[in-house]
Amino acid sequence: MAIPGILVKIIETKKREVAELETRRQQIIQDAKAVTRMPIDFKNALTCGGLAVISEVKKASPSAGVICENFQPVDIARSYEDGGATAISVLTDIDYFQGHPDYLKAIRQEVKLPLLRKDFIIDELQIYEALTLGADTFLLIVAILTPERLKELIELGLQLGMTPLVEIHDEEELKIALAAGAEIIGINNRDLRNFTVDMGLTAKLSPLVPENCILIGESGIKSVEDAKGLRESGCTGILIGETLVREGLEYCGAMIAKMREC
């Protein structure tokens, strides 16, 4: 998939962020090596029965704008855990999704579920930083990485005990992900070139995903019926954010519980 304009802007921002991290390279790696907490086995958590629901703590996005005005990330995460979520995805991108690395650190102190760092990861320092912040895994997006870089970052994650979620959008990206050693494949139903959503994409690509890989459906999930459709398409789990945040603290748990039963 050709990289669209918004992703080009995001990647340039990430390069600047990584350049700043580079000034603290040795300290970041030392901090990560000093972490005594073993990452929770994300891959195993996804296969513990029912539809796995990775619930996302999300304030805003380039396509939807601000989703939650009164954004309380820790309270949202607690509601997800109480509702039976399998894992929690935490957006740490500041400029485009109004997230923050500190949200991940704060949530780690309050919940026991596996935590996924959701960001545009292009460099190993972001992975070391994720471990230090309390993440158990992280997202890699095939569209923004070379095959060689993707393989390196997957291998680093596995060495650290963090099996990454590798996101693809078409058959070619799936081939690249598999060749790089991806064990958990996320099919993004949203086309990042124009933000349109095709909920049939997962059903189209899922037969091409080997049985030894875990398949996650991402984006465009508005209802329990959508979740059920992805389950029927072969997904072990789903990643859902905007819909749960819009449900609010009082009701998101009930939706998660229903989705888990799919």
Give the list of residues 6+ apart from residue 219 with CB closer than 8 angstroms, or none.
188, 189, 190, 197, 239
Q: Which of 17, 56, 81, 242 is catalytic?
A: 56
Select which of 124, 167, 183, 242 is catalytic: 167
Query: Is 218 noted as a catalytic residue in this protein?
Result: yes
Reply yes or no on whether 56 is catalytic: yes
**Identified catalytic residue from 17, 173, 218, 242:** 218
152 catalytic? Reply is no
Place of tokens 């059920």: 228
d(CA 186, CA 101): 22
Annotated active-site residue in 55, 61, 219, 233: 219
Catalytic one of 61, 188, 189, 233? 188
For residue 153, what are the contacts with CB-CB under 8 A and spacing of at least 6? 121, 124, 127, 140, 145, 164
Residues 6+ positions from 105 with CB-CB distance below 8 Å: 133, 134
Q: Does the annotation mark 188 as catalytic?
A: yes
What's phi and psi for 96, nearest 5 deg? -115, -25
Q: Are 216 and 51 in contact (CB under 8 A)?
A: no
Cβ-proximal residues to 93 (8 Å cutoff; 6+ apart), any chain: 10, 99, 118, 119, 120
In the chain, which residue ranges form alpha helices assigned H by DSSP?
Answer: 5-22, 25-33, 42-45, 73-83, 101-108, 124-133, 147-159, 171-179, 201-205, 224-232, 242-247, 252-260
The span from the CA of 116 to the CA of 134, in Å, is 9
Q: Is 55 a catalytic residue?
A: no
Which residue of the set 14, 59, 81, 118 is catalytic?
Answer: 118
Annotated catalytic residue: which of 55, 58, 206, 242? 58
> Is 155 annotated as catalytic?
no
CA distance 42 to 116: 9
User: Catalytic residue numbers?
Assistant: 56, 58, 118, 167, 188, 218-219
